[in-house]
Chain A
Amino acid sequence: MNAPAKQTIKGETGDWEIVIGMEVHAQVTSKSKLFSGASTEFGAEPNSQVSFVDAGLPGMLPVINEKCVEQAVRTGLGLKAQINLRSLFDRKNYFYPDLPQGYQISQFKDPIVGEGEVMLDLKDGSTIKVGIERLHLEQDAGKSLHDQSPDSSYVDLNRSGIALMEIVTKPHMRTSEEAAAFLKKLRAIVRYLGTCDGNMDEGSMRADVNVSVCRVGGYDKFRADGSFKHLGTRCEIKNVNSMRFVAMAVEYEARRQVEILEGGGTIKQETRLFDSKLNETRSMRSKEEAHDYRYFPDPDLLPLVLEEAWVESIRKSLPELPDEKRARFVAAGLSPYDASVLVAERELADYYEALAKGVDAKAAANWLNNEVLGRLNRDGLSITDVPVSAAANNAIVAMIADNTISGKIAKDLLDIIWTEGGDPRALVESRGLRQVTDTGAIDAAIEAVIAANPDKVEEVKAKPKLAAWFVGQVMKQTGGKANPGAVNAALKKRLNLPEEG
């Protein structure tokens, strides 16, 4: 692989390229916590979803939630990753008020999921592969609130012990667009799998973004021999919680590092945070202190051993994932771009599939993109609250295809159902929207238009392009119900217009 540097930053001393890796914390979708029976529901009263285990009371012990293990395996399979049939839970020791046990139960040396990959479809039509280093299970910490009192912090442990999947990529991203696209794709995958709700506003997904810069060519050398010495010193930007912020943080941080290097300085490996209001990253003072987490296997837990057959049964139950769905859509006739847009959200893809059942794939995609999504956009709605069912839209598209209604009527019909509801086929009958294909009626309409516009008849003979005007008038005459093809043919015959090439 010897791709040219993608996003370079020009400096006085030469060009720099950016290298990005990510650690994403994704909250596992489960009813109860990783090691206790307390609820994971969002937004409860402080400390109301805390068991004695979560509060780290003396003598309390962890017992693992089988659902969380299954979700981690499911995610690993979705990332086309190696599932480790034996993994270990370790304690990561440090003191913090929202860490009740004084350690976080995590997986250090032997994670449940090993190497995998995620494919990214970029705007320019290219596809890149981002390597996944590992996925491990760990506990979330509680929350400290610092703005409730001038001299105290308040601790709420509701989040303490909720299961997280930490998904670590290889440093395989090289532009802010790729970084944002990765997070978007990962979110789509876990949402397809049902293993994380991807709700970034509620903190269900948080990204730690590792950014470094190196001289152009360094990345390729790194890919060639795997040695990190070709890459620059990285800074970790903690807890970035949207795709847009990921892109902004990468842009800012890369420029900051280049500025330092160009000025003859060196990059200090450190943890930074992204301030979205000021659009900048800054050093986290409190994390300055050298950490020594003293990882060791948690003696309260035994090795986590999975059975091959169980993993296989999960593999068999996996849904079709975005990449496969996209390929299938393209094979059915969609453009790669349309297909990518449709599979980005599982709900949208599902809606599309229901809409496209038994009709032309491309026609269905166009109808969805232009008509349905256009109206959703106008009304500020998302696909989950679309007022017209996929089945109704499917009927409309089918009626266009078999000439029951015209395209124009179809749009009107959608508007009616959008606001008033109703069954499309019944509405076509009750409101007489059926397309007129009866040549007698069309001929009568043509005669009426000719009679009313004798001057235009002369003009059209000289300028055959004016035929379109006649079609429009005839359509108007028939209340839009005439079949435009039939009108066109009859007009040509009546006015003796030449067949166009």
Chain B
Amino acid sequence: MSVDKDTVQRIAKLARLAVPQENLAPMADALNGIFNWVEMLNEVNVDGVPAMTSVVAQKLKWREDVVTDGGVAEALMKNAPESEGTFFVVPKVVE
């Protein structure tokens, strides 16, 4: 599996990263270097091996259903690049 410029463009779009045209080819090269190296994983027979879902054996914690949080709209707006009242503001989204 080799990564080409179009693939870089496609995943950059998925990742919402603007990659300038002139960087597509070098980026494809860099990714190929890494993916070629990663290829060695195909040597291993993983039939019947379960995928790891948690590294330590423990039960998922459950929280009680009580309201303990919220009411921090002003604190949230402090770090907001643009806000109006207690709304976050973004360029108009067309639906």
| CB <8 Å contact, A66 and B64 | yes
Identify which of residues 71-86 in chain B touch chain A, using a CB-to-CB cut-off of 8 Å: 71-73, 76-77, 79, 84-86
In the complex, A52→B71 CA distance in Å? Answer: 10
Chain B CB within 8 A of A153 CB: yes
Using a CB-CB cutoff of 8 Å, which residues 53-95 of chain B contact chain A? 53-54, 58-73, 76-77, 79, 84-95
Q: A17 on the interface (CB 8 Å rule)?
A: no
Is A95 within 8 A of B88, CB to CB?
Answer: no
Interface centre among B59, B70, B91 (most CB of A within 10 A): B70
> Contact check: which of A31, A45, A47 meets B66 at CB < 8 Å?
A31
Closest B residue, CB atoms, query A55: B76
Chain A contacts for B93, CB-based, 8 A: 97, 144, 146, 153, 286
Instruction: Check: A316 CB closer than 8 A to any chain B CB.
Output: no
Complex contact A152–B92 (CB within 8 A): yes
- Interface flag for A145 (CB, 8 Å): yes
A contact residues, range: 35 or more
Is B34 in contact with chain A by the CB < 8 A criterion? Answer: no
Q: Give every chain B residue within 8 A of A152 (Cβ-Cβ).
A: 84, 89-92
A-B contact count (CB 8 A): 132
Interface stretch, picked from A165-173, A295-303, A382-390, is: A295-303
Instruction: Report how many residues on chain B are interfacial, defined by Cβ distance under 8 Å.
Output: 35
Asked whether A146 and B86 contact (CB < 8 A) given A45-B73, A66-B63, A67-B65, the answer is no
Find the B residue at minimum CB distance from A303: B53
What chain B residues lie within 8 Å of A38 (beta carbons)?
67, 69-70
Give the chain B neighbours of A284 by CB distance below 8 A.
95
CA distance A49 to B61 in the complex (A): 23
* A37 CA to B69 CA, complexed, in Å: 5
Chain A contact residues, CB within 8 Å of chain B? 30-32, 36-39, 45-53, 55, 57, 63-69, 88, 95, 97, 144-146, 148-157, 284-286, 292, 294, 297, 301-305
Complex A-B: 17 CB contacts under 8 Å: A32-B66, A37-B67, A37-B70, A46-B87, A47-B76, A47-B77, A51-B72, A55-B76, A64-B63, A149-B92, A151-B91, A153-B92, A153-B93, A285-B94, A286-B95, A302-B54, A303-B54
**Top 5 closest pairs, chain A to chain B, by CB:** A37-B68, A67-B65, A37-B69, A38-B70, A51-B69
Binding site for A on B (CB under 8 A): 14, 16, 53-54, 58-73, 76-77, 79, 84-95
